[in-house]
Structure 1
Amino acid sequence: MTKTADKLPKGVLHPLTGERKFSLARYQPSGDTGYFVQHYWIVRWDLRGQEPYPQTLIAYPNVNMIVEPDNTRIYGVARKTSAHLLLEQGWVVGVKFKPGGFYPFLQKPVSTITGGSLGFEELFGVRSGPFEDEVLQQPDDERMVKRVETFLDERLPERDPNVELVSGMVKAIQDDRTVVKVEDAVRLTGMNKRTMQRLFDRYVGVSPKSVIQRWRLHDAAERIDRGEVRDWLDLSVELGYYDHSHFIRDFRSIVGLSPEEYRQKR
């Protein structure tokens, strides 16, 4: 089981505070599971004697399964930010599916769970309690991840070639910073706009426009957290917005704060 960097990813809001409150470890999938899963992750925290901490992030366009005591569920892509309240001491294990990678398990449009969640038993037909105990009581991270992967390995659906197609498109949009609107994604991928929108609805759960917006806001939040932003107009232009009022509106609609309010909280 290969462990990757522990650095908090883009999208985690106020990461300098978060690094003092919790740790994140990520592990790469192995074998056939890697066709569907982007990585596994484990968050640990010890806040005994401290105030609870709401870990908040601008969600990536990925479905996640989170294994935690008495509440193992599969979470669709959040419409705005997503948050997990960290109390006392504990840990959770997550499966981050590739964009499109959860559709073969669900076998219906992933948009049907966007902004919501799906019960573990509802999807897999087994009670979550024994699975949670078996995973969370393992003596180390690697064995917890291995137990989750073994469970998935035993229930892998048939490969769907659209998983690779959609995952590749999402990564291309992420990597190419000139993609600032859907028409740019159409140019980059060569796919018909309507076809792309239908694919994203079925396999990703959110529209191409939403995916592009999330990457831009990830960049914005990261720059604000680093203290690199001096002028909102300059930042909005760099991110591909026609005017900074549109950028501020997008930021507030997702984060719940204006960029300036977010900077002040930093």
Structure 2
Amino acid sequence: MNKVSKDLSIANIRSKQPWFVFCSAGEYSVKISSVPFISHFYSFEAKASVDVTNVIPDGCIDILFDCDSSKPSAIVCGTTLEAQSVDFIHQHRYFGVRMSPACIPNFLDISASDLVNQRPSFDETTHSISDVFENIVSQGCFTNQVDIFSDFLIKFGIRNHSTLTQEVIAHIFHLKGDVQITNLEALTGYTSRTIQRQFINDTGITPKAFCRIVRCQFAIYNINLNTEIKPSDIAYNLGFYDQSHFSREFKSLLKTTPNSYINHLKNSTYLEKIRFH
């Protein structure tokens, strides 16, 4: 895949976890899903040592399988509200499913709010899972794992959000997270209290938190594809008051500054590691 094609493929992924790529020993495999409520699938082998590996806010739920032959496991990763450290085990191969933002699978037996900032065990939070866990962890082929989990997830589908929440989510993405609650009142005709209550019930987080996450992810996307971009330009494009406001928000969510992240990317092989299937 040439650089232009790869950039277009990456552009189709709204939710990114760059430290997962940083900590991969070699190729980081990605498959963009044809199922609307799945963002993409990914797989990698963890390398020996990494200074720090963070999972950052992305508004998504991940199902992450550790496919180690001696002690396989799986967890459900609820969306975080700020960067959290995560430990990957050297030479273990991981297979992950990232849901589309705010989408919650029907097979999860847990509330949206109880998933925020949590990583419960897959078998403790699921029902009617049949033998999907065994099929995934025993399968060495990434594309076969994708097919197995796609078929499984399609059978259950996702929880239906209210029309109000769907409208709010679409508007937040359209404006790249630069949305005030008063804008949502004008858009929907509902009070802020009603919007907040329904949004939390459907997604587990507030509209404000979701806006912060979306702006964070758009900033990550801009930097990942152009490490020469200036933080001041990102701040302007995403509607921040100024560069210092953007830098504070970036560090609050990612535990690193925009400039430090840019330097990290420049010294890594981020784009070279990603392989689309």
Shorter-normalised TM range: 0.7 to 0.9
CA distance in 1, matches of 2:53, 2:134: 24
3-state DSSP class of the match of 2:98?
A: strand
CA contact (8 A) 1:100 1:162 kept: no
CA distance in 1, matches of 2:80, 2:194: 23
Q: State the partner residue of 1:134.
A: 135
Counterpart of 1:121, as a letter, is D
Paired residues in the alignment total 252
Unaligned runs of 5+ in 1: none
**1:44, CA displacement in angstroms?**
1.9
Counterparts in 2 of 1:71 and 1:143: CA distance versus 1, 3 Å: same
Letter in 2 for 1:26: K
Q: How does 1:180-199 map to 2 (within 5 A)?
A: 180-199=179-198
User: Counterpart of 2:10?
Assistant: 7
Kindly report which structure 2 residues correspond to 1:153-168, keeping only aligned pairs within 5 A, or say none: 153=154, 156=156, 161-162=160-161, 166-167=165-166
Give distance in 1, aligned partners of 2:146 and 2:51: 25
- How many angstroms apart in 2 are the aligned matches of 1:188 and 1:172? 9
Q: Give the counterpart letter for 1:133 in structure 2.
A: E
**Mapped partners of 1:214, 1:75: distance in 2:** 16
Q: Give deviations 1:13-53, integer Å, cap 9, x for gaps.
A: 479957884413224255xxx5xx32441222374xx5347
> Does 1:230 find its partner at 2:230?
yes
Alignment-derived partner of residue 72 in structure 1 = 74
> In 2 relative to 1, CA 217–152 (structure 1 residues): closer, same or farther, beyond 3 Å?
closer
Aligned counterparts of 1:87 and 1:7: Cα–Cα separation in 2 = 26
Q: Does the 8 Å CA contact 1:65/1:72 hold for their aligned counterparts?
A: yes
Q: Indicate the residue corresponding to 2:269 in structure 1.
A: none
2:65 aligned partner, one-letter code: V
Q: Which moved more, 1:64-73 or 1:13-22?
A: 13-22
Please list every run of 5 or more consecutive structure 2 residues that lacks an aligned counterpart in the other structure: 1-5, 266-277
Of residues 211-220 and 92-101 in structure 1, the stretch that sits farther from structure 2 once superposed is 92-101
Deviations 1:106-135 (A, max 9, x none): 56641222001222222225799x643321
- Matched residues in 2 for 1:56 and 1:88: separation? 16
8 Å CA contact retained: 2:23, 2:53: yes
Q: Secondary structure at the match of 2:199?
A: helix
Whether the aligned pair in 1 keeps the contact of 2:231 and 2:258 (CA below 8 Å) is: no
Task: Report the alpha carbon displacement of residue 236 of structure 1 after superposing the two structures with TM.
Answer: 2.5
Equivalent residues in 2 for 1:1-266, closer than 5 Å: 7=10, 9=13, 11-13=16-18, 21-28=26-33, 37-45=37-45, 47=47, 51-52=49-50, 56-69=54-67, 70-82=72-84, 84-102=86-104, 104-106=106-108, 109-125=111-127, 131-153=132-154, 156=156, 161-162=160-161, 166-167=165-166, 169-177=168-176, 179-225=178-224, 226-230=226-230, 232=232, 234-266=233-265
In percent, how many aligned pairs have the same letter?
A: 19
- What is the DSSP-based 3-state SS (H/G/I as helix, E as strand, rest coil) of the residue aligned with 1:119? coil
* Superposition TM-score, scaled by structure 2 size: 0.71
